[in-house]
Chain A
């Protein structure tokens, strides 16, 4: 097991767990966590990719690292917006349900103001 293989496996597992949680967990907070897990996996992929720089004689390729940092910032911002909306919804409604109600009647009356 070289470090490369370990890193690859970890990245794959993170993405896999994330996708699983994202699809199956109904709660938005968990979905958000799942998103961050997938993000972690993807950033790890960038890290693995950075090793190809060594072929060019550099100790590592700096470009993916810059991208990872950007990606982290973006993911952070995304999480912040999502949390803000979730908190707001909890204050207004006391809960969140992301799925549309089955016999969809609410749409008809809800915004008739």
Chain B
């Protein structure tokens, strides 16, 4: 058993890397790119193997790194691999091979699968960087100004997040007494670290940038609205989950942490409602989906924060919430593309399916979303928490109903971005996304509980209220002020422009500094400074 599991872990990482290596040989490149859909297969197998043999430990080491798969990792890995297989197969069936896009795709895929199996800090950081940075090549390498802007902003947040995480990881490693960088060891040492709260703060900020958490949410709507349909599907589905697994892995459980926990919960709450509020002012379905992601990730953060407050280990349940979002959000993006590409009025079965899919995010009964709500419920008890949860469900339902009503506004250009296979099979994919979570739920809880009448009712009425609100919104929709996609990003851009404007002044300063007399004086001053520091010190 252990031999099989190490082989699968190995293959999870090396299958995409092998294809990537093949891309550097001109003769193999076309074949390698066409076979991309095979690369995530070992990851899927590894995830399923772990889920069916929960007790077996999957751990191996290669290249000096530790690779480890635990239950939350397995949940996300299996579904992310599935998504990559489906989308890759569809994309590369009818796409002319494009090296830049293909290599970016493979690199992002490697990172996306790798974060779930990384067992130490350095490996996690490596794959986290891979899932973040090459994704730029999937949508921004054009001359289109909107895409370039979105790309530059995406890159800025990605690099900034990496930077904050690097410091956080260094702090984690520095206070591990035995010099180990295994995630398990550093997390055991974190509660006693003298810089515990600062470290937690940096971790939340770093992963928050990936999750679009307030106030780092601006890049996400820009990115998803310019990315092509399949790219938006994998990035919003699988890519963002790197942040979810990051928070699951790196937020401490086991001992109650009141202050930090509540702070995170509040931040999550703000994101959850901000996402809904700004999303309701948007018209483009892709942008609305992006704001829905911000909101959903906010819910995860809030639940995580509350779990941390109580000292509970929330990992598998939250991973399940992430799993549901992964499937639903990716399928929603694919459905948007497929529906516009079919150019026929939405009705009948198609309408039912896409509505169920959308409202799954609000916890519609019998969908995976109902299970997802159920899985995080234990952390959201208490008067405030349950009131906010209900409000958030209503908000999600409102936003998703708004999305459904706005589907007719889908810009025509998205039709051309949608792979033919997705156009044909989108209903199957959507149904899969609604139902697959039922298959995975036994890993975290009891399925029958979701079918109790009281649960059904408490899941149903917020959805109904939300849908009603969305219908009501149509009456005054034109009077709602339009917030530009990316909301707060406008402020960041102004600040950035101000800072960039200092450039010429800086260059002048440099030229002056390089004048001989100035340098000579600097020389003397440095000597004196060193001397006085040495003598007085």
A and B touch in the complex (CB under 8 A): yes
Chain A residue numbers with a CB within 8 Å of B514 are 99-100
A21 vs chain B, min Cβ distance (A): 10
Q: Cα distance A24–B519 when bound, in Å?
A: 11
Interface flag for A23 (CB, 8 Å): yes
Q: Cα distance A26–B515 when bound, in Å?
A: 10
Q: Cα distance A23–B515 when bound, in Å?
A: 10
| Cβ < 8 Å to A, chain B residues 492-532 | 507-508, 511-512, 514-517, 520-521, 523-524
Chain B residue numbers with a CB within 8 Å of A100 are 511, 514-515
CB-contact partner of A99 in B507, B508, B516, B524, under 8 A: B516
Interface flag for A66 (CB, 8 Å): no
Chain B residue numbers with a CB within 8 Å of A104 are 507, 511
Contact yes or no, B516 A98, CB < 8 A: yes
Q: Cα distance A23–B156 when bound, in Å?
A: 43
| Cβ < 8 Å to B, chain A residues 24-49 | 24, 26
Contact yes or no, A26 B508, CB < 8 A: no
Q: Cα distance A101–B511 when bound, in Å?
A: 8
Contact yes or no, B516 A26, CB < 8 A: yes
Contact yes or no, B511 A23, CB < 8 A: no
Contact yes or no, B508 A102, CB < 8 A: yes
CB-contact partner of A102 in B511, B516, B524, under 8 A: B511
Chain B residue numbers with a CB within 8 Å of A103 are 508
A82 vs chain B, min Cβ distance (A): 15
B442 vs chain A, min Cβ distance (A): 67
Contact yes or no, B508 A22, CB < 8 A: no
Q: Cα distance A103–B520 when bound, in Å?
A: 21
Q: Mask for B129-152, Cβ within 8 A of A = 1, else 0?
A: 000000000000000000000000
A67 vs chain B, min Cβ distance (A): 22
| Cβ < 8 Å to A, chain B residues 59-74 | none
Q: Cα distance A24–B507 when bound, in Å?
A: 23
- Complex: chain A residue closest to B508, CB-CB: A102
B378 vs chain A, min Cβ distance (A): 64
| Cβ < 8 Å to B, chain A residues 62-113 | 98-104
- Complex: chain A residue closest to B520, CB-CB: A23
- Complex: chain B residue closest to A26, CB-CB: B516
Contact yes or no, A99 B515, CB < 8 A: yes
A84 vs chain B, min Cβ distance (A): 21
Q: Cα distance A98–B517 when bound, in Å?
A: 11
Q: Cα distance A106–B106 when bound, in Å?
A: 44
Chain A residue numbers with a CB within 8 Å of B508 are 102-103
Residue in B508, B516, B520, B521 whose Cβ sees the most chain A Cβ within 10 Å: B516
Chain A residue numbers with a CB within 8 Å of B515 are 99-100
Chain A residue numbers with a CB within 8 Å of B517 are 23-24
Q: Cα distance A101–B507 when bound, in Å?
A: 12
Chain A residue numbers with a CB within 8 Å of B520 are 22-24
Known A99-B516, A100-B515; judge A23-B507 contact (CB<8 A).
no
A27 vs chain B, min Cβ distance (A): 11
Chain A residue numbers with a CB within 8 Å of B516 are 23, 26, 98-99
Q: Cα distance A103–B512 when bound, in Å?
A: 10
Q: Mask for A1-35, Cβ within 8 A of B = 1, else 0?
A: 00000000000000000010011101000000000
B103 vs chain A, min Cβ distance (A): 33
Q: Cα distance A83–B514 when bound, in Å?
A: 22
Q: Cα distance A19–B516 when bound, in Å?
A: 12
Q: Cα distance A54–B307 when bound, in Å?
A: 80
Q: Cα distance A107–B523 when bound, in Å?
A: 25
Chain B residue numbers with a CB within 8 Å of A26 are 516
- Complex: chain B residue closest to A101, CB-CB: B511
Q: Cα distance A102–B514 when bound, in Å?
A: 10
Q: Cα distance A25–B64 when bound, in Å?
A: 58
Chain A residue numbers with a CB within 8 Å of B507 are 104
A26 vs chain B, min Cβ distance (A): 7
B201 vs chain A, min Cβ distance (A): 42
Q: Cα distance A23–B527 when bound, in Å?
A: 14
Q: Cα distance A100–B511 when bound, in Å?
A: 6
Q: Cα distance A19–B511 when bound, in Å?
A: 22
Q: Cα distance A24–B512 when bound, in Å?
A: 15
Chain B residue numbers with a CB within 8 Å of A98 are 516
B508 vs chain A, min Cβ distance (A): 7
A19-B524, A99-B514 known; 10 new pairs, CB 8 Å cut-off, are: A24-B517, A24-B520, A26-B516, A100-B511, A100-B514, A101-B511, A102-B508, A102-B512, A103-B508, A104-B507
Question: Can you show 16 pairs from A to B with CB atoms below 8 A apart?
Answer: A19-B524, A22-B520, A23-B520, A23-B521, A23-B524, A24-B520, A26-B516, A99-B514, A99-B515, A99-B516, A100-B514, A101-B511, A102-B508, A102-B511, A103-B508, A104-B511
Binding site for B on A (CB under 8 A): 19, 22-24, 26, 98-104
Nearest 4 CB-CB pairings of A with B: A23-B520, A99-B515, A100-B511, A100-B514
